């Protein structure tokens, strides 16, 4: 007679999304990570609170639904104009007592000060990608050397043109990067005055434009309209996409330097 295998016991941990001010309402109208997601609650300590939900520690994290749930919780707080310090995806602490005693208590002052700096601010991120056919036509029209090399490559057998193909690719990549730098500078000229802080990544051929802004609540609409105007101006040769309001993923590490005693990554974005 075969013995019936017993189900593996479930060990629960406390998944930490981020830290908010003590007066924040529990975000019980948004689903976090897990299948099914556990309710999102707050663990409070004096002036601050951690945004948490229960998680099965035996289940690996990293499914697309987990990543979306993590961002959904944080961004819902930002959209409600709640200051929030986001944790990087994957921070799991033993239990709620450990969240209060080992995470919040030792760093209460740093967290509280950082949250005060974030009052009335949310992140807006702007990404731009070139429309390849249009920007390539512009490059060939403006750069006679690249146009000539492209004609040479087209007239040679593939094996014989390998060196020229590499050279052509490098020249086009350099031109795309230079255009990305110039367009990033223009974007910052227009949008940075509407923000409290700005961050931009170095332009590359693959990612010519990436910039984030901490925008005061009373400027959200103006920022959105200014971005829409840029998108209309650049629409023929660049696709501009704005995301926001978001949690301040690109600014949290500038506001607080914290070591999080947690299983998993537990560091700041």
Q: What is the pLDDT of residues 79-103, one digit of tens each?
A: 999 999 999 898 899 999 999 999 9
Binning pLDDT at 50, 70 and 90, where does residue 266 land?
very low
Is 33 contained in some domain? yes
Binning pLDDT at 50, 70 and 90, where does residue 265 land?
very low
Is 6 contained in some domain? no
Res 60: pLDDT: 87
Query: Which is more confident, 160 or 126?
Result: 126
Q: Which residue has the tokens 């990570």?
A: 33
127 in the same domain as 113: no
Contact 210, 199 (CB under 8 A): no
147 in the same domain as 85: no
Full residue range of the structural domain in which residue 198 is found: 123-246
User: What is the chain's mean pLDDT, rounded?
Assistant: 88
238 in the same domain as 137: yes
- Whole-angstrom distance, CA of residue 125 vs CA of residue 85: 17
Cis omega before residue 214 (within 30°)? no
Contact 86, 268 (CB under 8 A): yes
Residue 213 pairs with which residues in a beta bridge? 124, 198
Residue 127 pairs with which residues in a beta bridge? 210, 241
pTM of the predicted structure, to 2 decimals: 0.86
Contact 179, 135 (CB under 8 A): yes
- Whole-angstrom distance, CA of residue 33 vs CA of residue 69: 5
172 in the same domain as 216: yes
71 in the same domain as 58: yes
| pLDDT tens-digit series, residues 160-193 | 678 888 898 899 999 999 999 999 999 999 999 9
- DSSP state, residue 100: I
Residue 269 above 60 pLDDT? no
139 in the same domain as 110: no
Counting the structural domains of the chain, the total is: 2
Residue 1 above 80 pLDDT? no
108 in the same domain as 155: no
Tokens of 169: 């690719």
133 in the same domain as 241: yes
Query: Which of 11-20, 136-145, 157-166 has the weakest average pLDDT?
Result: 157-166
Binning pLDDT at 50, 70 and 90, where does residue 263 land?
very low
130 in the same domain as 59: no
Residue 241 above 50 pLDDT? yes
- Whole-angstrom distance, CA of residue 44 vs CA of residue 51: 9
Is 266 contained in some domain? no
Contact 38, 54 (CB under 8 A): yes
- Whole-angstrom distance, CA of residue 72 vs CA of residue 78: 10
Tokens of 104: 């919040």
236 in the same domain as 127: yes
Res 262: pLDDT: 40
Query: Which is more confident, 126 or 56?
Result: 126
């Amino acid at each position: 007679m075969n013995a019936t295998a017993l189900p593996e016991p479930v060990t629960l941990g406390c998944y930490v999304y981020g830290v908010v001010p003590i007066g924040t309402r529990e975000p019980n109208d948004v689903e976090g990570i897990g299948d099914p997601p556990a309710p999102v609650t707050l663990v409070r300590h004096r002036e601050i609170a951690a945004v948490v939900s229960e998680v099965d520690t035996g289940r690996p994290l990293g499914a697309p639904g987990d990543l979306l749930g993590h961002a959904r919780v944080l961004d819902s707080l930002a959209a409600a104009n709640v200051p929030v310090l986001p944790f990087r995806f994957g921070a799991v602490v033993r239990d709620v007592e450990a969240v209060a005693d080992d995470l919040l208590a030792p760093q209460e002052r740093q967290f509280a000060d950082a949250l005060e700096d974030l009052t009335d601010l949310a992140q807006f991120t702007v990404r731009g990608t070139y429309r390849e056919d249009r920007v390539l036509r512009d490059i060939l029209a403006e750069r006679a050397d690249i146009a000539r090399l492209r004609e040479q490559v087209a007239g040679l057998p593939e094996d014989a043109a390998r060196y020229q193909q590499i050279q052509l690719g490098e020249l086009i990549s350099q031109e795309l990067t230079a255009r990305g730098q110039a367009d990033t500078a223009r974007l910052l000229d227009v949008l940075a005055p509407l923000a409290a802080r700005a961050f931009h990544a170095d332009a590359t051929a693959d990612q010519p434009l990436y910039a984030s802004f901490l925008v005061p609540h009373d400027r959200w609409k103006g920022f959105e309209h200014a971005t829409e105007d840029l998108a209309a101006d650049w629409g023929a040769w660049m696709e501009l996409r704005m995301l926001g309001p978001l949690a301040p993923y690109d600014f949290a590490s500038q506001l607080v330097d914290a070591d999080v005693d947690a299983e998993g990554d537990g560091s700041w974005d």
